[in-house]
Structure 1
Amino acid sequence: MVHAAPVSGRTAGARARHPRTPDVFSDRAHLIARWAGPFAIGLVYGYWAAANRRSGGPITAGNVAFGFVTAIVFTLFMAGVLTLASRLPRELHAFLWFLFTGAAFGFLFAQSGRSVLLTVGLSLALGVAVGLICFYWVYTHEDARGRRIG
């Protein structure tokens, strides 16, 4: 039987160190998914905000309109953050996610009628946690020069 002998002293290049998964979807499918994902999350967010605002009361036309407007605005902001954050250095990347997460949670929590201090405190806590996690993630996925790996 014939077996391939390992080659010593040579590397196959950057592709061997960081293999990529095959891309089975078309560019059109990726474009649709880039908007469908945030829109689906936005619909859930809009429904949640509308449900918090009505506090178990009857569903009204104003409540439904509030939910859809909230979903659209959230979708636009999330798509913007997803597009912009990957182009920023790691500190600004993490700060952008801190701002977005804190503001989104604060708006959602404020619809329930809780106190402003509790809303701000919880929003800051969640935003800081997400910002630190995001900074760590980006920091560990960069090389020594700050270029993203993979």
Structure 2
Amino acid sequence: MATTSSSSPLQLRVNGRDCVTPATPDTPLLYVLRNDLELNSPKYGCGLGECGACTVLIDGVAARSCVIPVRAAQGREVTTLEGLGTRARPGPTQQAFIDCQAAQCGYCLNGMIMTVEALLRRNPDPTEAQLRNELHHNLCRCGTHVEIMQAALRAARLRRAAAIAAEGKQ
């Protein structure tokens, strides 16, 4: 559990639901997500915001939760990998990573998926160079970079197809 405070509990909005944590305002968001809210997708990697394993979306922007104090997330929408889809119905970016088998050990996968998701939300049709640039700060020690790039490109195609299908239903 994150360090508790004698002040009032902090309120967060995570994956579309309101949450309360007794953590102190300085507690890293990662600790609250993993320990208090039991969301295990963001991983503790380096603790310095360098590797990307702890990436979440804050108001749709990729953010390193190991270096962000929980107070900075108050009043904002935090999305973890769990908020993109479910096992039965993964989101398009998650599905692309599954389809391309873009994992070996899987430790970096959270950060890779969340970084791709953030890019696709602001640019639904990125070039391969834009994807590479976006992902170059996410570390993968297993060497699945080729599959990760294939998955990122597939995610863009799946999201575009989903958007076209949604327009057709209107």
What TM-score, normalized to structure 2?
A: 0.32
Greater percentage in strand: 2
TM-score, scaled to structure 1: 0.35
Structure showing greater Rg: 1
